[in-house]
Amino acid sequence: MTGPYDILGVKFEDTDEIIRSRYLELVRQFPPEHHAEKFNAIRAAYDMVKTLQNRIDHRLFSEGRTDTVDDVMKEVFSRLPRQRYSLAKLAEAHQKANQ
């Protein structure tokens, strides 16, 4: 069976906007009036992965049953933007650590 990422042509790490854009592109290409089966497959795939929470749920409970919650959390947090500290804050933290 083909997975939702293959059907939509996206990856787990793609943003919600990219996935939605690809979904709309495929729906225009395969309208339900002419391609009912393909449209239903695209719609079902999109419902599985349209938000980050849905992608995590799908990964945990469908395709990644052997992955642990810690594995998924590490992957998700590695994709979140990191907080950037100013040089002054870094210097201050360094001074405090060396006192």
Per-residue pLDDT of 57-67, as tens digits, reads 887 777 656 66
SS3 66: coil
The domain locations on the chain are 4-97
* 38-47, 72-81, 85-94: segment of lowest average pLDDT: 72-81
If you search the block for the tokens 């996935």, which residue do you land on? 19
CA atoms of 2 and 16, how far apart (whole Å): 21
SS3 10: coil
Give the angle subtended at the CA of 56 by the CAs of 54 and 61, to the nearest 5°.
95
Does residue 20 have a pLDDT over 60? yes
Mean predicted confidence (pLDDT) in 91-97: 85
CATH fold of 4-97, please?
Helix Hairpins (1.10.287)
